[in-house]
Structure formats: C-alpha cells, structure tokens
Structure 1
Amino acid sequence: MKEFIKSIRDTLGSLSRRFGLASLPLFFTALVFLDYAFRWVYAGAAGGTRLLSLKPMAFTGCWALLITCLIALLPRLGRRIAMGALGVFFAFLVVLHGVMYNVFGHFFSFADMNFAGDGAKFFSWTYFRLPKKMYFFVLVFLLMVAAAMVLAQKPKAAGRRLWIRRGCALALVPLCLLGLGFTHQRLMPEESYVMTWDASVDQDALVYRSFTDTNRSMKLTGLYQYTARNFAVSFGIGTDARSAEELTEIFESRVLPAANEFSGSLRGKNLMLVMLESIDTWMARPEYMPNFCRLMDEGVEFTDFYTPLFLSAGTFNTEIITQTGLVPPAVGMPNSGYSTNAFPLSLANLFKGEGYRVNSFHPASPGIYSRGSIHENLGFEKYHSYTDMGMDDYQLDSQMLRDFDSMTAGDSFYTYIITYSGHGPYTEEMGNIAAPHLEKARRAVEESGVTSTPENMEEYTRAVAHAMETDQFIGGLMDRLEESGLLKDTALLFYADHYGKYMSDKEFIAQLKGVRAGTPELYHTPCVLVGAGLEPVKVDKTVCSLDVAPTIADLFGLDAPLNYYAGESVFSPGEGLVPFPNGGWYDGETYFTGGEGTQTGEDHRAAELIQRVETSMEAVRTDYFRSWGK
C-alpha cells in the first residue's frame, strides 16, 4: 500500500512539474465554462440567451480572471484549498439555482433565506429532477477544478517564476475591478432617472437596480456578478431609501378614478376571504372540483385574474398583498418586519374599525412564516391553527369546518381563511391528503384526455386528489352558510395564492394550462366572488392580486384612501394591468418587458403602475406607515 501511495504521489508530482503552468488557466476556463453552461441550460428561464452579449461576457470574464488572480497569490497548498472550496461552492450554487427554478420558477436569491426554514418543511427529492445535461456540466466543471488543483506547482527554490506569477496577478487585479465597476455603472441608472419615472425608462436598468427578477438578472449579469449583486441588494448594502416625504409626495400625486356603480354596494355585509393553496386553472374542472366550478357559474367570476409572485414564498407573498394592499419587497426586508411594521390600511384593521369581528384561520402552526404574530400585527384578533380548530389531520381542509362557529362569530365578521390541501409535493410524502380521493381522481383523470409520462401522470392524479379535498371544504362551507341563514348577508371571495407550481415537470404545467413557460399566462389563476345576493356575471377585465384589498375597501365602503394601495378596484373604469417583478407588465394580450426597447406614449399607465409597485415596496421596507397620518 505504501508503494502504491508513493506511486500516485510521484505521478501527480510529475504531472505538476510538466503541466503546472496550465493550472491557473485551467481554473479560469472552468469558471467561464460553468457560467456559460448554466446559462445555456436555463436560457429559456430568462427569455433567451445572452451568452455572447457584452455585459454578461464582461462580468463573467472579469470575475473569473479576478478570482484566478487572487488564487495565484497564494502558496500551493492555499491555491489547492481555495480552488477546491470555490469549485464546490459554485457547483452547489448552480444546483441550488436549478432546484429553486424547479420548485418556484426562478433562481435562488439570498433574500429567500428569510423563508428557508419554513420552506424546507415541504422538501421533496422530486425537486432535484434537474436537466441531465446540467448535472453533466457540473461534473465536468468539478473535474476541471480537480485537475487544476493537481497541477498546481510548488514554487521553485529560486522563486523567479513565483514572483513573475504574483506580479502579473497583482497587475491584473485592478484591471479586473475597473472592468467590473465600469460594466456595473453602464447598467445602473442615475437616481434622478429612476425618480422621475419617465415613460422612456430602460427596463434593463430597472431590473438591474432592483434585482428582484432573478431570472432576468442572471441573464443580464452571469453567475458571478449575479451572486455579488444579489447579496448586496438582498442585505441593503450600498442602497439608499427614499425619505417619508418623497413617498408621501408620490402617494398623494396619484390620480384615482371616481367612484363606480359598485362602490359601497356590500356595505355592512359579512366577508369571508378564502385563499386557496395551489388551486390552479387546470384543476378547476367540474369532474375535479364540482363545488368550486358551481360557484364560478353562480357568482362574479374574474376570468382574467393573475397572481404575480414577488417572493419565493408564494403563499406568504399573496397573503401580504391581499391583506395589506401593499407589495412585499423581494429584497432587504426580514420576515420579522411583518410582525413589527405598521399596517393601518390592512383589511383586518379597516374592518375592525367598522366594528367587525376579525379572525384568521389556517391549519399550519402559528410559527410557520411567523403567522401567529404577523396576523395579530395585521389586526386580526386571533390566528386559529389546526389545534384551535380541533383538527386531527392539519393537512385535510375539510376538517377546518369543525370550527365553523368561530369563523362566523359576531354580529358582523371578517374571516380570512387559507386552505392547505392543495400543497405539494404530489407524492407519497403527502399521501394522507390524496388517500380519501385517490380512486375517484384516477377515474376522473382517465376520462380527462390528459396524457404525459407515467411519472407526470401520477403526480397529476395526486394533485387532482389534493384539489378534491379542498373542493370538499368549499362545498361544506357553502352548505353550512346556507343552513345557518348567513349566506344572504355574507360575501365570499375565493382566490388562489399562486399557480400549481409543485409539479416536478415545469413544461407539463405549461401544457396543462395551455401556455408557454415563462409567460404571464402561467400566473393566471381562478377568482370568484359569491354570496350576499350577488348576481352571476363574468368580469373579463385583466386584474390581479394587488387589486383585492382596494376592491374590498371599495365594495364595503371602508374608510381607506385608495391611493395608498398598489392596485385599484377591479370595478374602476379603464383597462387593467398586471405588474411583474422584472418591471414588466401585462395587459391581457401583450407582455411588455421593455428589455429590447423602451416604453412609449400609451405605456404611461404602465410606468405609473411600476412606480406604484416600487413605492409600495419601499413603504413596507422602511415602515413608512408607522408615522403615516401623524
């Protein structure tokens, strides 16, 4: 054995002596290779490749050269350790980006760490079904790094080559930094340019400044600049917040539409807001969810409703948006802030001010996403978890009806309900949800005409079974309201927290929805308002989750200045627009990103919409409403 080890050591030493000069160039090449391979595999995530565009090329080249130069300054053992550590780190980062894209449809952001602990509770190995070529490229990268480590030379006794290498490395470091700084400034808009919100704003500049659209940011910058820039933005390094006076000026300058024919039409009625976990348009079929589909036929259905996601925690994202009317900042805001910041215009606070009983209900523990403290801070009297509702299995929505009396307590009540059973993964890991409905789901799926791989169809069938459990709750809730005589005085708004993103195959999700991956139509979700004597009608206006709070405030005649909300009442005159984290918007027909051009003329409303979103995020991040109205 000793002779074998000596033989290996001699072989490695011989390779190092003969090819040692290739060590650093090989490591540099490995870094460039990983970035280009990663962005090529996920080119569709960002709407097309930019592998040969100047800015990402400059960022990648400068970062790879800078890292290589810094490693060159180290002794051989230090070089090997640094190469190995960085190689493993970047390989892990690429896989992490792939897993995040597989689950959430976007790449990893350091801001996601705010929700990492809660999100890990829903971990599944199915999320590691990345493209095989990505795993292959990661393996090639690691082999290149390992080869560079083996070839790392021991300095000659005279040290001449050592000093030449270090001298060249030191000379290149400032050039790399200069290149990074210059390219950064070319993308970073001037502050005055941002503050004016001119209709000719360059979307690339807005995306790079806010860095909330991770997919497009990766496309603009490449892996290494993305990592550095995302870290800085996520933790508020080098960013300045607008003053309260500036925010007030923006809020107050907004021109609001006049009252509409529906304003105040539900004044004094009870309200139940029911957010449906992962219930997508492809689940809302009569053979899968007969109770929910009946409501869409009998109520006010918003046929073009969308739930844009600004946070990786999709449920929490829509929860905050629909309860406060504000947009949660994707970066620079710890989860604890929602437990301490002031939200005087939240629906719970507004209804409480009108004398309503206000309570929230969700099976999950109060510690998940800190809902117990956050809901109390939003104005709810109590957050009712599965223990409060007397549930045996917190994952079964139908068991929430055991606490129906608490849901309808008081002469007037505002009740917020979040369902659970639609959650993924759709595997044996959550088989207790599917079990009561699985045979029925298999029969319905067989008759549906949907086809795909056996793996996809098994997930699809289980997803349908999950939806059936939620539908059982919906039917039971409506029956209880009817039996108790409350339905005539109670309006219910059912909407989804996000599209059904827990299927492993993202292309299959797009196929089920009949859309192209990465387009706004992916975020199209069901939404219907029923009860309280409302007549059936189809509202075709393009609206979204940002419009929920101002719509409720408008319908119930609540005392709220609607110019402080990010959205507007869905019954306001004019066409609707849906904002997205990349600074783009959707008008129901065309998706505008401005990436290849600028906004023009008729896009003035879109520029105003982007301003509302940015200002709303800033208000939440800085706790603007703490001193509002004082």
Structure 2
Amino acid sequence: MYMDKKIGLFQRYGSILFFPITIIYLESIFKIVVFKELFNIGIVYMILFSIPAGILLYLVSNLFSSRVNRTISIVLTVFLTFIFIVQIVYFHIFKTFLAIYSINGTGQVLQFWQEVLSAVKSKAAVILLLLVPLLLIISGKRVLFVKKVSIKTKAWLAFTMVCIQITATILVFASGTGELSTGFIYSKAVIPDLSMNRFGMLTTSRLDVKHLVFRVNSPRTEEKEEITAIADNTEILNKPQPEKTVETQDLQKPEINNDDNIMNIDFDKLIASESDPNIVSMHRYFKSVKPTKKNNYTGMFKDKNLIMITAEGFSPYAVNKDLTPTLYKMYQEGFRFTNFYTPMWGVSTSDGEYVACNSLIPKSGIWSFYISGKNYMPFCMGNQLKKLGYGTRAYHDHSYTYYHRDVSHPNMGYDFKAVGNGLNIKKSWPESDLEMIQKTADEYMGKTPFHTYYMTVSGHLMYTFNGNAMSAKNRELVKNLPYSSGVKAYLACNIEFDRAMGELIALLEQSGIADDTLIAISPDHYPYGLTNKEISELAGHQIETNFELYKGIFILWSKGIKSEEISKPCASMDILPTISNLMGVEYDSRLLMGRDIFSDAPPLVVFSNWSWLTDKARYNSKNGKFLLAEGETNESVNKQYRTEISKRVNDMFTYSEKILENNYYKKVIR
C-alpha cells in the first residue's frame, strides 16, 4: 500500500517535474563537457531559467488525451536530446557553437561526415548519458503522463513559470556592473562563449532567436547626444606608440608622410541630410574616431602585385626549417610579426576570412561574409585595386558554393573560381593547394599588375592519415618525428601548403616579378582539429586557452626586402589596413576596426568573447581578470585605461554590426 501511495504521488507530480529536471540534467552535462566545470554562478541562472522552460514544455504536453500527451512528451524529449547532442558534437569539431542561423548551412557541414562520425564516436559516452531521460520516458509509461491536470493546476503552473522567469531575470540584472555584466550579456551582447556558461544552452538559443528576429542595440548606440569615441579620444590611448623592433634594417621606404589615412568624407553634411537617427549616430561616431597616420611604410609596395592567402588551419607550429622550408624562408626574410593573433569567431573559416578581408568583426549568430555579399564593400583589396586597373582574381580549392563564397567573393571585386565553377583539380579530401597553384598561376602571371586571393584547404581537419589525403600523401616525411599521430598528420598536410608556396615563388621568379610582388599569408583560425593537448605538444608547454591558443602567424614577404621583426600585438583584423597602407591606396582608417600595424596607433587585439589585450594589459572576460603586461604598473595602466579599452571593444562590435546591417559604406562613399 505504501508503494502504491508512493507511485500515486509520482503519477501526480512526476510528470510535472520531468521536463524541468530533464533540462537541468541535460544542461549540466553540457556545461561539464564543454566548459569543464559545473559549480559556478552560472549553475544558479541555468537552473532558474530551466524550470520555466520545463514547465512550459509540460503544459504543451498536457493539452490532449493521455495517449496523445505521451506522444507529444516523447517527441519533445527527442527534440531536447537531439539539440544537446548536436551542440556537443558541433563544438567538438569546430570549437564553437551552432547558431540558429547556421542551421541553413548544416547540409554543407554534413560534407564532413567523417569528422561528424569521429566526433560521435569520441563523445559516445556523453551521448549515452544524454539519452537517459528519453529512455526513462519511453519505459516509464506507468508513472509518467497518465492523466491530464485540471485547468486550475495549469493556471498555477503558468503563474509559477512566470514568477520564476521574472525572478531569474531580476537576479540577472541585479548581479552587478562592469565591462561584461551578466545583465549586459543577457540583454545586449551576443557572446555565446559566455552566455552558454552563464545561462545554459537553451536560454542562449532563445536569446539567439531574439537577436536574430529583433535588432537589439548596444547601450552605447542609443545615445541621442553627439557620440564621442571615448577610446580613441583619450590621452592614454592616443599617445603615439614607439615601434617595437628587434631587428630593423633599411627597407628603402618612401619619404615619410604623416598625413591622416582618410578619405574626403563630409560627415557634417551627411549628418545634416540624414533623417534616420541610427545612421546619424553612425556618422557622428565615425567622425569622432581618430584616424591612423601615413608613415614611412606608406606606399612601400605601390603599383606592385599583391597575392593574399588565407591558409586553412595554418599556425606558427607549421613553420619549420626542415619540413616547410619555403614558409620558413618567407617568415625569416620578410616582416616577422611575433605577437600576432588569429581570434576564433562563430562561423570559423568564413568569419576568419571576413575579418582578414574586411577589417570588421563578424556579427554573432549569422554568416556575415555571405550577408556582406549584397553590400558595397569598397575597402576589400579586390575592389580597391580593381579600380586602379589591376586584374583581380580569387581561387579556392574546394566547392565554390561552400559558405556562399560564390556570393561574397565576387562582391569583393574578384573573378572567382573554385571547384565546380572553373577550377578543375583532382578530387580528394582535402584537395591539394599545390595543384591549385599549378592550375591557376598562368591566368595572372603575365598580366601585371595583378592581385590574386587564395583560400587554401590542404590544412583542413581531420588530422589523421586515413581521413586526410594530404596528410597521407606526405606521411613518410613526418613518420620519424617525436610527436603523436594527430600532430604528425597536421604537419604532413601543411607540407602540401608549403609546396604550393614553393611553386608560387618559383613561378614568380621565372616570370621575373618575384621582387615586384607582395605575398601576405595568414590563417583563418587556429588548428582546432588538434586537441589542446596536441597543440601543447607542438608548443612544448601547456597552452593557455584564452589568449595563447589563438597565437597565429602573419607572413609578409617580397623577394629582396630585408627582414624586420615587429613585436607589438596585432591580429587578423589589422591585415587589411596594413596592406592598404603598404600598397599606397586611398582608404579611410576611421571606417575599419583594425589598425595599420606600422602606424603609431595603440595596438588592440579583440577576441570573440570580448576579451582583449594591448601592449600594456590584457582582460580575460571568462574570469574577469585584468593583468598588466610586464613592466607596466598600476600608475601607468589605471582603472580609466581598462574602462576606456572596454568601451572601445564595445564600439568595435557594435559598429561592425551596424556597418553590415545598414550597408553603411554605400551611404558615405559615393
């Protein structure tokens, strides 16, 4: 009788508790697997937001007869389980989260079915744990979802749901202030890395939908008075930075010109004639931004040919005197940026390309490069040099439609060819960068001046000898290295990229234009196909995961230039303004988020989770820690500095998004 009474209680309350407990259970596993932690302040918010979500699902599953309700409950549980499995598998592969918008592109992701299967196998134990609630609901017919509850009970549940949701929201906004307060992340910013940890996956997905459907403005964009770019107009940040070089040699630079790198844009006239307050605020902001100045590197490669390369999964660890001699030679002979970073963004390769090609921060939750394909993008090197009479071409040795490059790349001013629309190379996975160079170089070598852009693929994951054709091709060259199999495979596939660069330079030399051509190489992202343990193996020490993990490489090389080491912090966002200045083209430095590395502008590297670093300090948004650079003191780097840099970072995210959303360049450059 006691057991019957106990079962009766569970029949009454078990079905009500099932969904809240299930969501909390799934969120807890997700938090442990992804963030390697559970018991932080985020678990409180996660539980509070999970309970109303669970009650809502229960109410949805209690609208009809018991049989229908049971079916609905099973379907909802399948859906919940599925989305958690998808996010964990996706994160395992790409080290970022699947945004709602990106669901449209999951068909492209499934091209990497081998990687998906490998991830599922790797996370099999976790997936089994995620399936527990589903197994319970299928096998628990006697105790779950037996009867419909009364209207009165439903009303009380709805009231409870609303009260808990309101309580959770109040606690979020009362949780304090600071650069990245919990309330700011919940209501204004889109920072999945922080939001997932603080609120959970379901709440972050809800916020993602909200930001996707409703344009949520950052607080700093809602000002109605004249906007001042605080971070660009302070004595601290505008103090000219001495160039930090270890080895500086005569580069035959043009005569120094210290004029501002700006265009003739009459912001006052634009403000007076604009009726949209949102655009007016943008005009005021960009008018107030301090431009970078021309310098003794301006026009150093004016009228020269330019080859820009975004190298898939490239990193400093792939540059080796014996394994990749061409890349090693280019790095040693050219400009050596020893403090260069390649931050990871939400749409991995596509966002990495977008940042390097446009000097803008991609908008979280969408495919920014694809969206930009309908906008006027005058500062891309393709568009800048095309109007000067250059032949401008772009190539990619994989599918031409992947990430919608057939939309974004022609819009940058390029005649674009890839596999499927004119580039005919041997079918493999991944394809050969060397073969791409061999098949395309003749199209532009004899037609100077030219600008060519390459997006490579040989360095793509998986880093195995049975799942990567380029790794298998070069396996013999790495078999005796003292590394694990994954690391060897990574180095082996980058040997193919090195051979491609060797072929490219040889063809330039045969054409007699190697000393008239500037080559710029940077990664799209760090090699996330390697585990942190494997990257640490390459680094020779335990890698730090908020900053050091994203330490990248930027090669600027032309035959005959003398080497120079630049040690100030810089990142992929700085590539476009730096090359624009070197090529001596007209551009407006106020309208780009990056800075000409060779200018005296203060360095600032920004990461997707709103962490940042300068030559004076760094801020880790994950733990809120602010650390001074070596040699700096609290007197030279005070609280005002931290606040101003954080405001500048806020502005960079905000106005990058607004430029994309409003096709802003078309409004100011006519």
Same fold (TM over 0.5): yes
Alpha-carbon distance between aligned partners in 2 of 1:415 and 1:307, rounded to the nearest angstrom: 22
Q: Kindly indicate whether residue 110 of structure 2 is the aligned counterpart of residue 120 of structure 1.
A: yes
Q: Kindly indicate whether residue 355 of structure 2 is the aligned counterpart of residue 321 of structure 1.
A: yes
Q: How does 1:403-482 map to 2 (within 5 A)?
A: 403-427=440-464, 430-443=467-480, 445=481, 449-450=482-483, 457-482=484-509
2:49 counterpart (23, 47, 59): 59
Q: Kindly indicate whether residue 11 of structure 2 is the aligned counterpart of residue 20 of structure 1.
A: yes
Q: Kindly indicate whether residue 656 of structure 2 is the aligned counterpart of residue 628 of structure 1.
A: no
Q: 1:523 to 1:458 in 2, by over 3 A?
A: same
Q: Kindly indicate whether residue 652 of structure 2 is the aligned counterpart of residue 612 of structure 1.
A: yes
Gaps of 5+ in 1: 1-12, 156-160, 194-198, 451-456
Alpha-carbon distance between aligned partners in 2 of 1:102 and 1:89, rounded to the nearest angstrom: 20
* TM-superposed deviation, 1:223: 3.0
**Contact (CA 8 Å) 1:542, 1:576: kept in 2 or not?**
yes
2:621 counterpart (593, 602, 617): 593
1:512 — aligned with what? 538
Q: Kindly indicate whether residue 381 of structure 2 is the aligned counterpart of residue 347 of structure 1.
A: yes
| 2:433 counterpart letter in structure 1 | D
* 1:115 alignment partner, SS class: helix
Q: How does 1:185-204 map to 2 (within 5 A)?
A: 187=172, 200-204=178-182
* 1:282 alignment partner, SS class: helix
Q: 1:512 to 1:61 in 2, by over 3 A?
A: farther
1:135 — aligned with what? 127
Q: Kindly indicate whether residue 365 of structure 2 is the aligned counterpart of residue 331 of structure 1.
A: yes
1:376 counterpart (407, 410, 421): 410
Q: 1:182 to 1:615 in 2, by over 3 A?
A: farther
**Contact (CA 8 Å) 2:532, 2:543: kept in 1 or not?**
no
| Alignment TM-score, normalising by the size of structure 2 | 0.80
Which sits farther off after the overlay, 606-615 or 95-104?
Answer: 606-615
**Contact (CA 8 Å) 1:542, 1:575: kept in 2 or not?**
no
* 1:546 alignment partner, SS class: helix
| Larger RCO (CA under 8 A, 6+ residues apart) | 1
2:165 — aligned with what? 180
**Contact (CA 8 Å) 1:76, 1:152: kept in 2 or not?**
no
2:89 — aligned with what? 99
Q: How does 1:49-88 map to 2 (within 5 A)?
A: 49-50=39-40, 53-88=43-78
Alpha-carbon distance between aligned partners in 1 of 2:322 and 2:420, rounded to the nearest angstrom: 29
Which sits farther off after the overlay, 615-624 or 423-432?
Answer: 423-432
Alpha-carbon distance between aligned partners in 1 of 2:510 and 2:586, rounded to the nearest angstrom: 32
2:631 — aligned with what? none
Q: 1:577 to 1:129 in 2, by over 3 A?
A: farther
Query: 1:501-535: per-residue Cα shift (whole Å, max 9, x none)?
Result: 123x4443344344546312111112111105321
Q: 1:384 to 1:105 in 2, by over 3 A?
A: closer
Query: 1:468-496: per-residue Cα shift (whole Å, max 9, x none)?
Result: 11111111111221222111111111111
* TM-superposed deviation, 1:536: 0.8
Alpha-carbon distance between aligned partners in 1 of 2:559 and 2:320, rounded to the nearest angstrom: 25
**Contact (CA 8 Å) 1:371, 1:383: kept in 2 or not?**
no
| 1:323 counterpart letter in structure 2 | C
| Alignment TM-score, normalising by the size of structure 1 | 0.85
1:10 — aligned with what? none
| 1:215 counterpart letter in structure 2 | D
2:231 — aligned with what? none
Query: 1:299-357: per-residue Cα shift (whole Å, max 9, x none)?
Result: 11111111112232x22112222222222212255765232121122211111122211
* 2:452 alignment partner, SS class: strand
**Contact (CA 8 Å) 2:578, 2:596: kept in 1 or not?**
yes
Alpha-carbon distance between aligned partners in 2 of 1:283 and 1:266, rounded to the nearest angstrom: 27
* TM-superposed deviation, 1:595: 5.5
* TM-superposed deviation, 1:434: 2.6
Alpha-carbon distance between aligned partners in 1 of 2:7 and 2:68, rounded to the nearest angstrom: 16
**Contact (CA 8 Å) 2:42, 2:197: kept in 1 or not?**
no
**Contact (CA 8 Å) 2:341, 2:572: kept in 1 or not?**
yes
Alpha-carbon distance between aligned partners in 1 of 2:423 and 2:123, rounded to the nearest angstrom: 43
**Contact (CA 8 Å) 1:122, 1:424: kept in 2 or not?**
no
**Contact (CA 8 Å) 2:370, 2:403: kept in 1 or not?**
no
Q: 1:179 to 1:384 in 2, by over 3 A?
A: same
Alpha-carbon distance between aligned partners in 2 of 1:51 and 1:37, rounded to the nearest angstrom: 16
Which sits farther off after the overlay, 15-24 or 343-352?
Answer: 15-24
| 2:439 counterpart letter in structure 1 | R
Q: How does 1:521-532 map to 2 (within 5 A)?
A: 521-531=548-558
Query: 1:578-628: per-residue Cα shift (whole Å, max 9, x none)?
Result: 112222212366343175489931121342133123211221123222323
Alpha-carbon distance between aligned partners in 2 of 1:129 and 1:517, rounded to the nearest angstrom: 27
Query: 1:387-424: per-residue Cα shift (whole Å, max 9, x none)?
Result: 64553347111112232122334231111112111112
Q: 1:492 to 1:134 in 2, by over 3 A?
A: same
**Contact (CA 8 Å) 1:84, 1:149: kept in 2 or not?**
no
1:268 counterpart (303, 308, 316): 303
1:158 — aligned with what? none
Q: 1:70 to 1:366 in 2, by over 3 A?
A: closer
Q: Identity across aligned pairs (percent)?
A: 20
**Contact (CA 8 Å) 1:76, 1:154: kept in 2 or not?**
yes
Q: Kindly indicate whether residue 151 of structure 2 is the aligned counterpart of residue 151 of structure 1.
A: no
* TM-superposed deviation, 1:148: 4.9
| 2:577 counterpart letter in structure 1 | P
2:320 — aligned with what? 285
1:535 — aligned with what? 562
Alpha-carbon distance between aligned partners in 2 of 1:108 and 1:121, rounded to the nearest angstrom: 16
Q: 1:212 to 1:148 in 2, by over 3 A?
A: farther
Q: 1:324 to 1:334 in 2, by over 3 A?
A: closer
* TM-superposed deviation, 1:497: 1.1
2:216 — aligned with what? 239
Matched length: 588
* 2:668 alignment partner, SS class: coil
Alpha-carbon distance between aligned partners in 2 of 1:257 and 1:431, rounded to the nearest angstrom: 44
Q: How does 1:16-55 map to 2 (within 5 A)?
A: 19-21=10-12, 22-44=14-36, 49-50=39-40, 53-55=43-45
Alpha-carbon distance between aligned partners in 2 of 1:248 and 1:522, rounded to the nearest angstrom: 36
Which sits farther off after the overlay, 458-467 or 326-335?
Answer: 326-335
1:602 — aligned with what? 641
* 1:538 alignment partner, SS class: strand
* 1:275 alignment partner, SS class: strand
Q: 1:153 to 1:437 in 2, by over 3 A?
A: closer
1:305 counterpart (335, 340, 349): 340
* 2:478 alignment partner, SS class: helix
Alpha-carbon distance between aligned partners in 2 of 1:167 and 1:582, rounded to the nearest angstrom: 45
Gaps of 5+ in 2: 222-277, 627-637
More helix by share: 1
Alpha-carbon distance between aligned partners in 1 of 2:549 and 2:371, rounded to the nearest angstrom: 30
Query: 1:142-171: per-residue Cα shift (whole Å, max 9, x none)?
Result: 23333554423544xxxxx842xx422322
